[in-house]
Structure 1
Amino acid sequence: MWINKTLLTCLSILTAVSLTKAEILPVQSKKLLQQIHPEALATENIASVDGSNIKTLREIFEIRWIPAASMANTLQGSPQQWQADFVLIDKTVYDNGLPKRGDIIIFKPNDNLTKEGYTDPFIKRVIALPGEKVELRKGKVYINNKLLPESYIDSKQVTNIDVCASGEQPPFLSKSQTLPPNSYLVLGDNRQNSYDSRCWGLVPRKNIIGQAVRRVWPLSTQINLDKNRHQQQHYLEELFLKNVGFIIPPNNLNDGIAFFQKQLANARKNQDMTGEITALRHLSMYNIMLGIKNEQAMNYAQQLLKVARQHKISGAETQALAYMSLAAFAKLEPNLAIEYGQQVLPLAQKNQDQISEYMALWSLAIAHVYSNDCSQAKIFYDRSSSILNSLPVSENKNMIQEQMSVIFKQLNIQQCLGISNI
C-alpha cells in the first residue's frame, strides 16, 4: 500500500504546479522555431521533437493551475489543485512583440502590490494599452471615450471600484487615467471578485512573465485563449504538450485512461505518431498511479519505448524507461526498477531532461532501500536532491521538496539514508 501512495504523490508533484498562492498564476519568432528544428519553417511534416530540444521547450512553455476565481467564467480556479483549470503559458511571446488588448497575461506584482506583501505572480486580462485613456462609467469600461465591448465577461458583471479596499490612497480608477509608455491596465473577468488595476494601478512591461494561451485541463473543455495565434505557434504548443508537458489528475484516473485509450486508437488509425506517443505516455502513468494495473502500465511503457526507438525520439525513449522503472518498482521488482533506472540516467543527462533524471534517481534510491542497500540508496538520494536544487523556480521545487519530505517520513527510511531533517 505504501508503494502506491508514494508513487501517487511523486508523480503528481512532478507534473503540475500552482500559479500563485494569492491569485494565480509562451509566438515564437523564426529564431525560436529554428532552435527547435532548422526545417520547421520549410515543412509541416515534423511529427515530434527529439530529446535534445526538451530543455528549449521547457524554456518556452510551462503548465500552471489556477487556485483563485478572479478569471471566472473564462478560467475556473480552486484552491484544490485537481478541481481547477490548468493553463499553458507561453513565456517568450512578448520577446518580439507587445501585449494585445484581450491577452490573458501572467505578471509579477507591481510596486504597490509588493508594498502590500504580494510576491507571487497574478493572472489578468489586458484591457488598456500605453497611451490610451481609460475610465469607468456606470459599471462599464471606456477606452478613449468609447465603450469597450467585452464578450468574455458575464452580462450581469459590473466594473466598478467597490471591490477595492479603502485605504490612504483612492483606488487607481476612481478617476480617468491615461496610461504612460510601457504600462498596461489589467482586469479579471470576474469583476466582482478580482483584485486588479482598478485598485492598485498598472502593470509595467518589464513585469510581464508571459501569456496564458490555452486551457489544457480539464481535457473535455480545452480551449485556445488567444484566437490570433498563428499556425507555427500552435505547432510549438503541440510539440510541448505531446513531448514534454502533461497533467496527471489523481482523482480522474479512470476517466483519463478511457480518454487516452480512445486517443490512442484514433492516433494509430490516422498514423499520428505524436498522438500515439502522448496517449501511451498518459496511459503508462495513469495505470502506474492506479496501483492495481501495473502490468498494463508496463505494457504501455514498453509500447512507448518501441515507438520512440523506431522513430529515434530520444526524449520519449527517456520517459518510457523512467515509467518502466516506476512500473517495475510498483510490481515489487526492485532489481528490474534499478535496471531501467540506470538506462534513464545517460539519456536524461544527454537530453538535459532534469525531470526524467530526477524521477530515475528517486526511483533508484527507493529501490535500493527496498533491496536493503543503504549505501547506494544514499548516493542516489543525494544525486536526486542535487537535481531538485538545480530546477528552475518555474518547476516549483519548494512544493516538490515539501511533498518529498512527506513521502520519506511516510516510508520511515530516514535511518537507511542517514538523513534526519527531511
Structure 2
Amino acid sequence: MNFPLILFILLVITGCIWLLDSLLWKKKRSAAENEPWWIEYPKSFFPIILIVFTLRSFVMEPFKIPSGSMIPTLLIGDFILVNKYTYGIRLPVINKKIIDINEPKRGDVLVFRYPEDPSVDYIKRVVGLPGDTITYHNKRLIINGETIQTDYEGDYKYVEAGFGYIYADRFSEYLAEESHSILVNQDVKGIQFSNVRQFEFRENCKYRRTGFTCEVPPGSYFTLGDNRDSSSDSRYWGFVPEQNIVGKAFMIWWNFGDFSRIGLAIK
C-alpha cells in the first residue's frame, strides 16, 4: 500500500472541497442552513491531513523495524523516526530532490526504497560512498584499501524466527568518528552466493570464495546490515541509487516489548 500517495489524494480531495466551499458553496447557503456532511467532514479533516502530510513528507516519518538485519543497533519491533530533510528536500510521492542539503556519510543508518521493489522500504548502514572500492574479505570490511578497525565486545545471543537462539560475536566497528556495533556469526559464510542477483552495475562487483570487491558507481551507495550474516543488503541486490533515499534514522521512539529503548539515539 502506497501510504504517501493515499495521503496525498485525501489531501487534494479535502482541500478542493474546503476551497470550493470557501469560494462558492458557502455564499449560496443561507445563514440558518447547516453544512452538508460531505462538506463538513472533509473541511474538518483537511487541516489534520495537511499537518500530517507536511510533517511526514518534509520533516520526519515513523517506521517499524520488521526484521533482525540491523541487530544489535535496531531490534525487531523498534519504532524509529527518520529525518526526511537531512539529505535534502524531496517532493512527496515522486521522491524527487529539489534542494540539496547534505550527502549520506559512511556510518549513517539509511532508510531507502528497495531497488528491486521501490514500494518496500529498507534500512541499512552506509559503508560505501560514490567512487569507493568496498572489499569484504574473510568477514573483514576494507574500504579503499584500508581495513576497517573492529574491536571484540563479547558474545551476543538473540532469537530468530524459525531458528531459535542465534549465537554471534559482537564487535565495535569504526566507520566514522563514532563506532557502532555489528554481529558476526562465525558459523555462516561471509557471502551466500545463491542469494546474489543480477543487478544494475553488477559488472562493478567481483565475487570470490572469501568475499567480494565492489566499486560504487556515481550517484549510488553501498549498504550492509549490522547483523552481517543475517542481512539482505548490497552484497546481494546491488547499490542504492540516490533517488531511492528516504532519510536518515535518528531515534527509537517506541518498543512495546522493551520500554528502556524508548528515546535511544541511533548511531
1:155 deviates by 5.5
Give the length in aligned residue pairs: 166
Preserved CA contact (<8 Å) 2:221 2:242: yes
In structure 2, the partner of 1:142 is: 142
Corresponding letter in the other structure for 1:161: I
1:63 deviates by 1.4
> 1:74 is paired with a residue of what secondary structure?
coil
Change in CA separation of 1:159 and 1:206 when aligned onto 2, cut-off 3 Å? farther
In structure 2, the partner of 1:68 is: 67
After superposition, the C-alpha distances for 1:148-201 in whole angstroms (9 at most, x for unaligned) are 232410365678212752667889562422212111000111111111001111
After superposition, the C-alpha distances for 1:323-376 in whole angstroms (9 at most, x for unaligned) are xxxxxxxxxxxxxxxxxxxxxxxxxxxxxxxxxxxxxxxxxxxxxxxxxxxxxx
1:86 deviates by 0.7
Structure 2: gaps (5+ residues) = 4-47, 89-100, 150-172, 174-179
The percent identity for this pair of structures is: 36
1:188 paired to 2:186: no
Change in CA separation of 1:75 and 1:178 when aligned onto 2, cut-off 3 Å? same
RMSD: 2.9
Matches within 5 A, 1:7-406: 54-55=51-52, 56-59=54-57, 60-77=59-76, 84-95=77-88, 96-110=101-115, 113-114=116-117, 119-149=119-149, 150=173, 151-154=180-183, 156=185, 160-162=190-192, 164-165=194-195, 172=205, 174=207, 175-218=212-255, 219-221=259-261, 222-226=263-267
1:140 deviates by 0.9
> 1:87 is paired with a residue of what secondary structure?
strand
CA distance in 2, matches of 1:163, 1:76: 26
> Which structure's residues are more often strand, by fraction?
2
Preserved CA contact (<8 Å) 1:187 1:196: yes
Change in CA separation of 1:206 and 1:146 when aligned onto 2, cut-off 3 Å? same
Preserved CA contact (<8 Å) 2:196 2:236: no
Preserved CA contact (<8 Å) 1:102 1:125: yes
Change in CA separation of 1:119 and 1:173 when aligned onto 2, cut-off 3 Å? farther
Change in CA separation of 1:89 and 1:173 when aligned onto 2, cut-off 3 Å? farther
Preserved CA contact (<8 Å) 2:196 2:235: no
Preserved CA contact (<8 Å) 2:132 2:216: yes
CA distance in 2, matches of 1:143, 1:224: 26
| Greater relative CO (CA pairs within 8 A, separation 6+) | 2
CA distance in 2, matches of 1:167, 1:57: 36
CA distance in 2, matches of 1:223, 1:208: 23
CA distance in 1, matches of 2:109, 2:55: 21
Corresponding letter in the other structure for 1:223: L
Corresponding letter in the other structure for 1:220: S
1:209 deviates by 0.7
Change in CA separation of 1:147 and 1:62 when aligned onto 2, cut-off 3 Å? same
CA distance in 1, matches of 2:55, 2:120: 23
CA distance in 2, matches of 1:62, 1:167: 30
Preserved CA contact (<8 Å) 1:173 1:199: no
Change in CA separation of 1:161 and 1:68 when aligned onto 2, cut-off 3 Å? same
